[in-house]
Amino acid sequence: MNRPFQLRSTSFPGSRPLLIVVLLLSCYLGCSKGGKEHTGEGRNYVVIAIQGDVDSFNPLFAEDVTAGEINDLIFPGLLDSKFDTTRGVLEYQPLLAKSWEYQNNNRDIIFHLRTDAKWSDGIPVTARDVQLSFELYGDTDVASVRQSSVEGLRRTKKGGLDIHEAVEVVNDSTVAFHFERPYPGQLFDAGLPILPVHVFGKLPRQGLRENAVNQNPIGSGPFLLKSWRPLQEIILESSPASVLPKPGRLSKIIFRVIPEPRTRLAQLRAGEVDLVANVRVEDAIELEKSPQLQIIPTGERVYDALNWNNLDPEEYAKTRGRVIRPHPLFGEARVRRALTLATDRVEIVQSYLRTFGRQAIGPISPLFRWAYNDTLKPLRYDPAAAASLLTEAGWRDTDGDGVLDKGGRKFSLALKITAGDQLRSNIATIVQNELRALKIDVQIEQVERSVFWKDLMQKKYDAWIAGFSVPLQMQLDEIWGSDLRQSPFNLVSFRNRRVDEILKEAKRIQKETDHAAAWKEFQVILYNEQPCTFLYWLNGLVAVNRRVHGTDIGVLGTLHHAWEWHVEPPLASR
């Protein structure tokens, strides 16, 4: 073949030297260890992989769990908390407050502050800081997500809140909280993080959310914010002068934002990170095999349920909530009970949660031993009994199409789940098959998270899988109160007078555990009524490298008492 041109040199002038440069550079870059940290010191720090960035370094606005835990290390409160797992109660210990006493029939709590606590800029922490902090928490212009914490404080004669009266500065080291009436969460609400008055006192309240001061927090805690690279890394540094309670034993805690779960776990296995929270069950089972890693459960504070809308959503929407009628499918307790009997929750727990979860019978976690009704046993999987209950309720397949019907209405429903949630997707499939055996037609629909929750709050769905993370204080009225406007999170719209009484009484007692019998009765009511099919309690799982010691990972979070963490021995730089 004729070749009109033949090149004698390389096709691209300069390509040979360019190639050589690229090869040398690749060798150089590749020869040094990739992915390993550079240290100028022994590695006296811990690296934690987190899924997303913090939303704020100001406890007024931080909604994210990780952000809240980080802020607690920077801005300690009056009290340190501890969860007694034997009894299932929160207990409090001194932190900024070295002691406190009750007065005025427990309506007032006088806190005596440490006199040696200082902010990181050297200014002493005083009672005025405490007062301002609660002023900010309660200010509607600030719109703090923790605004509910001031609701128990004493009101003025006109019914408003005057924080200078309610949180009284007695002197620099004494602050008095005056409550409207005694209630179980007084210490919990008074224990919020404290902010510096000399920083926040002079800032305008409007626009405080986006003020640059939130990115450079001045704290008094065992750690300070050293640096923050958005969506990359947060570095907390031990604060040598802190007395609340003491400087962190680690020189640093480094948070690396790694959105991909596989990457987080790969880095954990490789030793590049030391701790990963919210580990999935299937991953935990694999990680447990590694001798270098340990899996620590954080306690059963999250439950999932098959939720049945107890009211008719169409009528509710049409009348804008004025008319509440029972749902044509789920309005009857025996139908809901039938659906629970038709769901094999043992299979779900064994298949997907293994030893890291257990069946749920109600919304009160077994963690709260004083309130949990352990006489109630989960309803056993019994499709025959379920079918019988449905027949009793009038559901029969009158037209032979394989789907139950009653009064011309098919027992057909759309089961909504949040998109991308593999666990709930698997559960939905199991439920679909089990209900199909009872001639109930179930269509699974995945909905994007933001849309899902907006539609739920508007009570648009008939059935869905979702759950709640339960607070450490027994505050259930937002979720189970019958007044649907006052209880916007009563998403299943369950209404029961006795439950309302129990919820109301709970706010009037001083000691939480005094209400144990009522809470047990509450669980019996829900057990009988089955407003939703409680599926399981999920144990949060944290994977930690065994070189990290002194952790107190549990019910109170991953970073609880992180000032005690240490690594032994500190590794030499590599």
Partner 1 sequence: MARLAAKRLASAIPLLLGLLTIVFLISRLAPGDPVTLFLSPTVPAQVADELRRQFGLDQPLLTQYLRWLSNAIQGNFGVSFSHQRPVLQVIAAFLPNTVILALAAIVLELVFGILLGSLAARLHNSFIDKAVTNIGLIAYTLPTFWVGFVLLAVFAYAFGLFPSSQMHSVNSEALTRSSQLLDLLKHLVLPACTIAIPGGAGIARYFRSSLLRVRGEEYITVARSMGIPERTIFLLYELPNALVPVITIFGLEIGTLLAGAIVTETMFAWPGMGRLAVMAIFSRDYPLVLGCTLVSGLVVIVGNLSADLIYSVVDPRVRVPS
- Residues in region 189-208 near partner 1 by CB under 8 A: 206
* Stretch of 9-17, 216-224, 322-330, 405-413 lying at the interface with partner 1 (CB under 8 A): 9-17
> Coil, helix or strand for 171?
strand
Q: Does residue 160 touch partner 1 according to CB under 8 A?
A: no
Residue 67 CB, nearest approach to partner 1 (Å): 11
Nearest to 362 by CA among 524, 555, 539, 497: 524
User: Strand runs (DSSP E) across 51-196, as ranges?
Assistant: 79-84, 89-94, 97-103, 108-113, 167-171, 174-178
Alpha carbon of residue 295 to chain centroid:
19
Q: Does residue 574 touch partner 1 according to CB under 8 A?
A: no
Alpha carbon of residue 66 to chain centroid:
9
Alpha carbon of residue 32 to chain centroid:
41
- Return the number of other C-beta atoms located less than 10 Å from residue 504's C-beta: 11
- Residues in region 242-261 near partner 1 by CB under 8 A: 254, 256-260
Which CB atom, from 30 or from 407, has the smaller least distance to partner 1? 30
Q: Does residue 33 touch partner 1 according to CB under 8 A?
A: yes
Q: Which residue is listed with tokens 């005694």?
A: 182
**What mask, x for binding partner 1 by CB under 8 A, covers residues 467 to 486?**
-x--x---x--xx-------
**What mask, x for binding partner 1 by CB under 8 A, covers residues 344 to 383?**
----------------------------------------
Residue 258 CB, nearest approach to partner 1 (Å): 5
Token pair for residue 435? 């209900």
Residue 467 CB, nearest approach to partner 1 (Å): 12
Residue 476 CB, nearest approach to partner 1 (Å): 8
Total residues at interface with partner 1 (CB under 8 A): 78
Which CB atom, from 178 or from 226, has the smaller least distance to partner 1? 226
**What mask, x for binding partner 1 by CB under 8 A, covers residues 254 to 293?**
x-xxxxx--x--xx--x-x---------------------
Q: Rounded distance, CA 567 to CA 213, Å?
A: 33
Which run of H or of E encompasses 424?
Answer: helix 422-436
Long-range contacts of range 207-216, CB-CB < 8 Å, 24 or more positions apart?
208/60, 208/136, 208/141, 208/142, 209/56, 209/60, 209/61, 209/142, 209/143, 213/58, 214/56, 214/57, 214/58, 214/61, 215/57
- Residues in region 35-74 near partner 1 by CB under 8 A: 35-40, 45, 47, 55-56, 61, 63
Which CB atom, from 215 or from 429, has the smaller least distance to partner 1? 215
**What mask, x for binding partner 1 by CB under 8 A, covers residues 424 to 463?**
------------------------xxxx-xxx-x------
Which run of H or of E encompasses 40?
Answer: none
∠ CA(491), CA(492), CA(498), 5° rounding? 105
For 97: left if phi > 0, alpha if psi spans -120 to 50, otherwise beta; the answer is beta
Residue 149 CB, nearest approach to partner 1 (Å): 9
Residue 185 CB, nearest approach to partner 1 (Å): 11
Which CB atom, from 364 or from 431, has the smaller least distance to partner 1? 364
Nearest to 64 by CA among 551, 562, 558: 558
Which CB atom, from 12 or from 102, has the smaller least distance to partner 1? 12
- Given a contact cutoff of 8 angstroms between Cβ atoms, the answer to whether 71 and 59 are in contact is yes
Taking only Cα atoms into account, the Rg of the chain, rounded to an integer number of angstroms, comes to 28
> Coil, helix or strand for 415?
strand
- Residues in region 112-151 near partner 1 by CB under 8 A: 140-141, 143-148, 151
Binding-site member from 108, 162, 172, 233 for partner 1 (CB under 8 A): 233
> Coil, helix or strand for 544?
strand
Residue 518 CB, nearest approach to partner 1 (Å): 19
Residue 469 CB, nearest approach to partner 1 (Å): 8
Q: Does residue 422 touch partner 1 according to CB under 8 A?
A: no
Residue 454 CB, nearest approach to partner 1 (Å): 5
Which CB atom, from 30 or from 408, has the smaller least distance to partner 1? 30
Residue 290 CB, nearest approach to partner 1 (Å): 15
Residue 205 burial (10 A CB sphere; 0-12, 13-18, 19+) = middle
Which CB atom, from 370 or from 489, has the smaller least distance to partner 1? 489
Token pair for residue 137? 């928490």
Q: Distance from first CA to last CA of the chain, Å, rounded? A: 60
Binding-site member from 2, 8, 105, 202 for partner 1 (CB under 8 A): 8
